[in-house]
Amino acid sequence: MSRLSIQASTPLCLLQDAGRFGVRHLGVTQGGAADWRSMSWANWLLGNGLDAPVIEITLGGFTVVAEEDCVLALAGADLGAQVDGEALAPWRSFRLNKGQQLQFTQPLLGARAYLAAPGGFDAPKVLGSSATVVREELGGLDGMGRALAKEAQLSYSGSSLILLRELAREQVPDFKLNTPLDLVLGAQIGEFSGQSSFDAFNSVWTLDSRADRMGIRLLGTALQYQGKPMISEGIPLGAVQVPPDGQPIVLLNDRQTIGGYPRLGALTPLALARLAQCLPGTQVRLKPVVQDVAHREQVEYLLRFSAR
């Protein structure tokens, strides 16, 4: 068993995996990595299962020291990572020798970085997952939903006898990409005013600073719902709810399981991964797509991981 010692952390640094499934009927949310693409590539670089537990580091402020020689992998945002003061770019595996320090300073490109270890970081499974959901006190290193804290130990049991790899340039997600976010239309889309239906997909939306792993508020032209009051219903990942103030909210991994606000629809998984890397103040657009197209694009992307 190998270990890393946490020297600095923030409440935004969490142990995550693919999330908790099959338990929403119990009122338990999904959790899991906000940017599933980056989590998967970090694991791919080490030959792990794509859903192995990783560290999700949001905005930086995280530092670990190796207690033994090890090989780790880094994907996702460029948070100014440094090994003993030397810059470390993401999308590669790398060696960290005993006593060396890995530090994440501040966002340079993107918002969330993912640190993977051989075999995945050790943590108990709660309802089938190690994903940390602080609000529900589930997951994490001790199963109690706590964020990673200074002086905690990260352990893993996989072998570090791994050839170093770097993700091919054409596979690296482009965090500067400014194309619209794909949205699969929802059941209430026809209950918005005609002008609002137009504005939803022809306006620029600004990501509000009121954002966390539950959801991100979009600021822009207020949308008007004209339908009857709704009975609360299940909410999928990426659902775009419109509360009475008309400002949409994109619901993320730690969302509530039911809600009664009307929805434009839901962002596709690929659109959600892009959104997870956007900082407050970023401007985005929405684009309607049909479910068949979204499903085909998702399957095509997943096939990229089959090349080992």
With CA atoms as reference, report the closest residue to 253 among 211, 294, 215, 210.
215
With CA atoms as reference, report the closest residue to 283 among 214, 203, 197, 196.
203
What distance in Å separates the CA atoms of residue 172 and residue 195, rounded to the nearest whole number? 38
Predicted confidence at residue 83, as pLDDT, reads: 98
**In whole angstroms, how large is the CA radius of gyration of the chain?**
20
The DSSP code sequence of 34-47 is SSHHHHHHHHHTTT
Report residue 275 as tokens: 């959104």
- From the CB of residue 27, how many other CB atoms can be counted at a distance below 10 Å? 10
Q: 145: which residues sit within 8 A by CB, 6+ positions away?
A: 132, 133, 134, 135, 136, 137, 138, 139
Predicted confidence at residue 227, as pLDDT, reads: 93
- Kindly give the parts of the chain with pLDDT less than 50: none
Question: Cα 249–253–258 angle (5° rounding)?
Answer: 65
With CA atoms as reference, report the closest residue to 13 among 93, 126, 94, 102.
102
Predicted confidence at residue 1, as pLDDT, reads: 76
Predicted confidence at residue 160, as pLDDT, reads: 86
Predicted confidence at residue 308, as pLDDT, reads: 57
- From the CB of residue 9, how many other CB atoms can be counted at a distance below 10 Å? 21
CATH code of the domain made up of 181-306: 2.40.100.10
pLDDT in tens, 181-211: 999 999 899 999 999 999 999 999 999 998 9
What distance in Å separates the CA atoms of residue 10 and residue 18, rounded to the nearest whole number? 21
Predicted confidence at residue 301, as pLDDT, reads: 95
Residue whose tokens read 């091919």: 168
Q: Where exactly are the structural domains of the chain?
A: 2-171, 181-306
**Total-model pTM:** 0.96
User: DSSP label at 295?
Assistant: H
3-state SS assignment for residue 5: strand
What distance in Å separates the CA atoms of residue 248 and residue 221, rounded to the nearest whole number? 10
* Residue 137 phi, psi (nearest 5): 55, 45
What distance in Å separates the CA atoms of residue 201 and residue 265, rounded to the nearest whole number? 12
The DSSP code sequence of 28-80 is ------SSHHHHHHHHHTTT--TTS-EEEEESS-EEEEESS-EEEEEEEEE--
Predicted confidence at residue 307, as pLDDT, reads: 66
